[in-house]
Amino acid sequence: MSPGGGKGKIQARIVGSSISGILEILIFHPIDTVAKRLMSNTTTIFGVEGRTTGQSMKIMSQTIFGKAYEKGIVGRWLSLFPGVSFGAVYKVLQRTYKYGGQPVVKDFMTEKWGTNFTNVFGAKSGKDMLHATSGSLIGLGEIVLLPLDVLKIKAQTNPEVLKGRGVFQIFRDEGFALYRGWNWTAARNMPGSFALFGANSLMYTRVFGTEGPKDSTLFQIFGASAFGGIASISVSSPLDVIKTRIQNKAFDDPRSGTSVIKDLLKEEGPHAFFKGLTPKLTLIGPKLVFSFTVAQWLIAKIQKDYFSD
């Protein structure tokens, strides 16, 4: 490793994860909008007695496109880009923090407590648990970026609450209201990130028999990212529904997460906790897998090409 190799590793992680965030927002923001609007919908679309499949498809289309439903294809497509400015800033910062920060926390934990993890869980499982636990801690820290996520979701699902106000005015007017649902966000992020990084490491150590992205092929990196992404989305989905329902309300809406859960169970039933899971796995899943694959591959490549002997 060249002098300053530690610094080089950090630079590689920042550059690789930042690029993955930029590519993700450019390609997948419309898909994210669709998923958020479906999760925010409180009415039953399919399976209603007396409603034809065509009528259900029309209702789903109205749910996705809102006021742009009457417009043509181009108008509908453009309607899926609200909040893209918030989304761009949030996503790049989030991916840089998450994908670039988790290895830093993992390295620190390995140095301090690596032996303890090995003694308790064994060599391979200890490594997987270090990845998972450091990922969980990174997920907890993500709540710092919550206001940007809140503004993105409101722009996607309830734009009227932002109308006529600039970013600075919104921050000044709303203050800590932008952190509404932070506890539910933390409760969602921690197990989700635990599953993402833990399952990803599990694929490397148990299935591919590698040490991680640095000695894995692009196909193996993709496979590990896909397994981690599916695990993360599945584990975090119920709490993600609650988080989205809280964040898409008006800033002065007094309902808490507990109230959202009670209303959800009363009006929609337990299955509502998994609303949007299918579109998330089929639409948002590829977004997460794509960005995670790109970040891991780029970080490993930059470290190898520019910061190794």
> What is residue 10's predicted lDDT score, i.e. its pLDDT?
87
> What is residue 134's predicted lDDT score, i.e. its pLDDT?
97
12: exposed, middle or buried (Cβ count in 10 Å: 0-12, 13-18, 19+): buried
> Most distant CA pair in the chain: distance in Å?
71
Q: Which residue has the tokens 């919550």?
A: 146
> In CATH terms, is domain 5-306 a member of 1.50.40.10?
yes
Residue ranges in the chain assigned as alpha helix (H):
5-40, 53-65, 73-78, 84-121, 123-141, 146-157, 167-174, 182-202, 218-247, 257-267, 277-279, 285-306
DSSP string, 240-267: HHHHHHHHTS-TT----HHHHHHHHHHH
> What is residue 178's predicted lDDT score, i.e. its pLDDT?
82
> What is residue 38's predicted lDDT score, i.e. its pLDDT?
83
Ordered by start, the domain boundaries in the chain are 5-306
Give 39-48 pLDDT, tens digit per residue.
Answer: 778 788 888 8
> What is residue 26's predicted lDDT score, i.e. its pLDDT?
80
The rounded average pLDDT for each run of 10 residues, N- to C-terminus, in the chain (309 residues) is 58 93 84 79 83 90 88 86 72 92 95 95 94 96 87 75 77 81 86 96 95 94 96 88 72 68 78 74 84 95 79
> What is residue 153's predicted lDDT score, i.e. its pLDDT?
74
> What is residue 1's predicted lDDT score, i.e. its pLDDT?
37
What's the pTM value of the predicted model, to 2 decimals? Answer: 0.76
> What is residue 2's predicted lDDT score, i.e. its pLDDT?
39
> What is residue 106's predicted lDDT score, i.e. its pLDDT?
95
